[in-house]
Homo-oligomer: A and B are copies of this chain.
Amino acid sequence: MTSQRRVTLQDIADQLGITKMTVSRYLRDPQKVAEKTRVRIAQAIESTGYIQNRVPAMLSKSSSKAIGIVVPSLSNQVFAELVQGIETITRQQGFSTLIAHTGYDPLTEEEQVAVLLSYQVDALILTQTDHTLRTRKMLVAAGLPVAETMELPVEPIDIAVGLDHIAAATAATRRMIDAGRKSIVYLAARLDTRTLLRQRGYEQAMKHAGLKPLTVSTSAHSSFTTGSSLMQQAFQQSPGLDGVFCTNDDLAVGVMLYCADNGKTVPEDVAVVGYNGLDVGQAMRPKLTSVVTPRYRIGEVSADLLIKRIQGETPATSYVDVGFSFTDGATDRNHV
């Protein structure tokens, strides 16, 4: 009973003694068929539980009215919000979304891009800029609009919507420097592109202020426990540290928990700045100071640009810097 053929237009047509063309017409515009037929078709569709099969349309128009989204991780609120931003736009334009995830691995990205392309998506939204050669080739060959999001690639494939993570990290670090911190450490996990960009920004700010940068990192993925253990290492390597810049809020919260647990007061003893401005940080006391990345907006903007491109328009801009700001936190103040 599992593999009974799915109901088709033909089935419905046969059942009513008409042709599938009439049923097809009804589906796209009920007004186009006679009142009597209309009622009968409606009934038949209702009773059979007919579901539109998109596949033929994909075949003949080689378009699916779908946009593919490739995110690194499914459990990261950052990407969940990006997707929500995308979907507010796609939904109102009648596009659906296909979501794939890569676990931060360019090879998996390659695979997933191939899968999405094989489903004939009309556009692709990527969230990494580090692509394999084959990925790039496929994207070019497919000739569809592609948006790279979150960070701004040096050599964009096509559309780019994101923010300057180097500048954001520099600004974050400078806040602590301006507040009188001297020994600031950068905590990094899962060494993806963005983590490295932030490191660059951090190092620039430190060097510019004549301070010595120190990065403590792990290839493990970010979590609260990772944050705690990185902080422990940081104290070992730099006992006098008075500030930490964390590559994301998960680490930052782990740092705060570690401090609470080891007699260090934030921000008096140690300043902490996180990245992304997630709810976690805002639930802490004091509230975490963090870089706000407008990913909802990134989603909206990139979806909007892509749909315009799908529809044949040529938007003036294809490179959008959405900027950044800071949460209203208190973990980087009150020094000396």
Contacts and interface: CB of A to CB of B under 8 A. Distances in A.
Interface of A: 1-7, 48-56, 58-59, 62, 73-77, 79-81, 83, 96, 98-101, 114-115, 117-120, 137-138, 140-145, 223-225, 227-228, 253-254, 257, 260-261, 279-280, 282-285, 309-310, 312
Contact of A49 (B58, B83, B138): B138
Given A115-B96, A141-B48, A225 B77 contact: no
Contacts of A50: 141
Contacts of A58: 55
Copies in the complex: 2
A61 to B, nearest CB: 11
Given A55-B55, A75-B79, A98-B99, 9 more contacts: A2-B312, A3-B312, A6-B120, A49-B141, A50-B141, A51-B118, A83-B101, A223-B283, A224-B283
Contact of A137 (B49, B56, B285): B49
B98 A309 contact: no
Interface centre among A74, A118, A225 (most CB of B within 10 A): A74
B223 A55 contact: no
B100 A99 contact: yes
B59 A59 contact: yes
Contacts of A83: 74, 101
B74 A119 contact: no
A3, A55, A142, A284 — most chain B CB neighbours (10 Å): A55
Contacts of A49: 137-138, 140-142
A141 B76 CA distance: 35
A311 to B, nearest CB: 10
Contact of A260 (B5, B81, B141, B260): B260
Nearest to A49: B141
A282 B229 CA distance: 13
Contact of A143 (B4, B81, B137, B253): B4
A285 B312 contact: no
B7 A141 contact: yes
A145 B2 CA distance: 6
Contacts of A53: 118, 120
Nearest to A223: B279
Given A62-B6, A283-B254, A309-B2, A118 B74 contact: no
